[in-house]
Structure 1
């Protein structure tokens, strides 16, 4: 068992900073949140979302009356797109400054909430811009309060200290990790997710699978991050097919959302390594590539390469997907093929070559993975040393199906 391999002298952090309201009907807790903002004297806010999600989910039907009832004035930025950019953060920040926003509400999945986190920092550091923030030319210690209204079951950003944005001019997609951007409040209501499109249902759930695969196997992993990983994969393997077949099944949405949330807590504690560090260059170069799909393309190859270093952990947490593993190094090909088969059965059959990547692109991707700000930290936590050769091999193994 992997327990015997845990370094008991590794002092780790147990993190949980966000008050998250979870369950069907949780959106109604926005009334309590708005009341709390009023009591704190925060009567001007900026809402950060995209053109569709705040309406189609029904979230705004509850949020707007709550804000009005508490005399809270707002301005709304709806320009967030998948794989958000520093330009979008700057645009939203400008609107927030004009109204004198004292808090930020993000409505949506990872893109709007991550954008909201960037805005929350820049409303405090008014002489800085988003490029400076994501190039890490300064280290923020404060931000306006963030309220995360989550509408997908994948990112975990509603309960963690991470945010991501792209700097398109440099083809960078760095990540932030600051305590000041933990959302003060979060709402996880499965009823907001029944309208989630088929592909987003798949891709966001695979994002959660990757979060825990990495969090359970980093050099910072702990029994806590591994425990959460085990339950995350069990729940997703059970309920994702049901949600794909019956999108309005609230039980399936509930458990996928719960899996996503505990996956967010898992990697908030255990951190990440290869899959996210190698995916960020993919969607930085091709912003139209969904983050979760990029992760799915890489996952089998990443597991193949790290399995010999952490076979007990991966055999344990992947038991629901690839049963019967003994947790010995020689099973690397078996688990990688099993994960790929599971993804294919879900209809996620794309590999890097299907998205236009070729072997000629790999040197550039390797360079971006090793030079983009913040990704070096992720790679330093991998259970197998992240040399350029290993990174190249993972990209090459991800170009086409393994079998």
Structure 2
């Protein structure tokens, strides 16, 4: 296999809109990144993180030294939680403004990076707030520079133009997508991910799979999105079981991280539809629900719903975990069962009912899927027409 020919200790550049430094030891490229920021005249930055992963991974020590060596002052905001809220973003923005921050550095997974992208926009639009941003009341065309130091192999947000932040008062979890929030640089270092717990390792990897299943089957998909989808699923199927058993296996982490990166590029090209549009209401109502778990519980039912329209693509990209499928409409139930079995084989046993959702909440979830700002845009590009009936079918079949 070609993977064996690759030196995983060679840090290479993968270019899309964002320049990503990828490989074991990539965190040390922060010296070059800080020098680049200094060369742009940037003297102050806000650093967005969660509570502790930036410290436990060692990423903060390297970042702090790089900033100090280049004369860049920093403000550390370490309050970002999973499923970040507009309140976090507004608080961090206020602190960043008071500090006169000129750029934003994120250290973490999707939550700190998405919150950082949001702060970057609001630094450029000081009269706006995060609720206005996520209720789509204005279209930003500029943002402060964003640097993304990625600590999980799932979201792909370090190389794309998307961000997600919740509005708790309305139980909304919208998504935004603007060219101005492509990170200037990203750090993808698999050595920073060896301490990910098994559960989180599974959830983020399933997130990557969801990205490509959706990206490859929207009505606006393209050959690149499909090509990247097939490779993403092959790599996750091969290396996720290894990473679960051997969490410090750098080769497994390297290829799961690569899968995540190309999945981010895939949905940056092909966009998303049902699974993310339906998961966002789940974790808006239940903020403690892991995003990847929500996606995993929905995915088999989504595949069943779209299989008659997208069977040929799905049969192709799922070949590593669902072999011998032809892509015909009569395989929809078989695909549902096979995918559910694969998800259980990697350690996710839950259905929605196991996580506290039941028939009584389905109507609320259906309404949120259509009412939450931005989610209607995802549903509009699903391969089968998104109606309240189709959305209800997916939720019910996921209970």
Q: For residues 199-218 of structure 1, what are the structure 2 equivalents within 5 Å?
A: 199-218=199-218
Match of 1:368 in 2: 368
Give the Cα–Cα distance (whole angstroms) in 2 for the partners of residues 383 and 50 of structure 1. 36
Match of 2:3 in 1: none
Match of 2:380 in 1: 380
Give the Cα–Cα distance (whole angstroms) in 1 for the partners of residues 296 and 222 of structure 2. 24
Task: Please give the per-residue CA displacement for 1:247-290, whole angstroms capped at 9, x wherever unaligned.
Answer: 00000000000000000000000000000000000000000000
- Is 1:134 the counterpart of 2:118 in the alignment? no
How far residue 335 of structure 1 moved from its aligned partner, in angstroms, is 1.0
Task: Please give the per-residue CA displacement for 1:22-78, whole angstroms capped at 9, x wherever unaligned.
Answer: 000000000000001111110100000011111011101211111100000010100
Match of 1:79 in 2: 79
Match of 1:224 in 2: 224
Task: Please give the per-residue CA displacement for 1:155-175, whole angstroms capped at 9, x wherever unaligned.
Answer: 000000000000000000000
How far residue 381 of structure 1 moved from its aligned partner, in angstroms, is 0.5
Match of 1:7 in 2: none
Task: Please give the per-residue CA displacement for 1:166-212, whole angstroms capped at 9, x wherever unaligned.
Answer: 00000000000000000000000000000111111000000000000
Give the Cα–Cα distance (whole angstroms) in 2 for the partners of residues 274 and 211 of structure 1. 11
Give the Cα–Cα distance (whole angstroms) in 2 for the partners of residues 68 and 393 of structure 1. 54
Give the Cα–Cα distance (whole angstroms) in 1 for the partners of residues 335 and 357 of structure 2. 25
Q: For residues 256-267 of structure 1, what are the structure 2 equivalents within 5 Å?
A: 256-267=256-267
Match of 1:181 in 2: 181
Match of 1:241 in 2: 241
How far residue 16 of structure 1 moved from its aligned partner, in angstroms, is 2.3
Q: State TM-score, norm by structure 1.
A: 0.95
Give the Cα–Cα distance (whole angstroms) in 2 for the partners of residues 329 and 30 of structure 1. 50
Match of 1:162 in 2: 162
Give the Cα–Cα distance (whole angstroms) in 1 for the partners of residues 97 and 54 of structure 2. 22
Structure 1 segments, 4+ long, off by >3 Å, are: none
How far residue 294 of structure 1 moved from its aligned partner, in angstroms, is 0.1
Give the total of aligned pairs.
385
Give the Cα–Cα distance (whole angstroms) in 1 for the partners of residues 126 and 203 of structure 2. 35
Q: State TM-score, norm by structure 2.
A: 0.96
Match of 2:8 in 1: none
Match of 2:9 in 1: none
Match of 2:344 in 1: 344
Match of 1:302 in 2: 302
The DSSP-based 3-state class of the residue aligned with 1:235 is helix
Q: For residues 305-344 of structure 1, what are the structure 2 equivalents within 5 Å?
A: 305-344=305-344
How far residue 149 of structure 1 moved from its aligned partner, in angstroms, is 0.1
How far residue 133 of structure 1 moved from its aligned partner, in angstroms, is 0.4
Give the Cα–Cα distance (whole angstroms) in 2 for the partners of residues 86 and 337 of structure 1. 38
- Is 1:281 the counterpart of 2:247 in the alignment? no
Match of 2:391 in 1: 391
CA RMSD of aligned residues (A): 0.7
Match of 1:271 in 2: 271
- Is 1:115 the counterpart of 2:132 in the alignment? no
How far residue 336 of structure 1 moved from its aligned partner, in angstroms, is 1.1
The DSSP-based 3-state class of the residue aligned with 2:173 is coil
Match of 1:6 in 2: none
Match of 2:55 in 1: 55
Match of 2:5 in 1: none
The DSSP-based 3-state class of the residue aligned with 2:187 is strand
How far residue 214 of structure 1 moved from its aligned partner, in angstroms, is 0.1
Task: Please give the per-residue CA displacement for 1:304-334, whole angstroms capped at 9, x wherever unaligned.
Answer: 0000001110000000011110111110011
The DSSP-based 3-state class of the residue aligned with 2:46 is strand
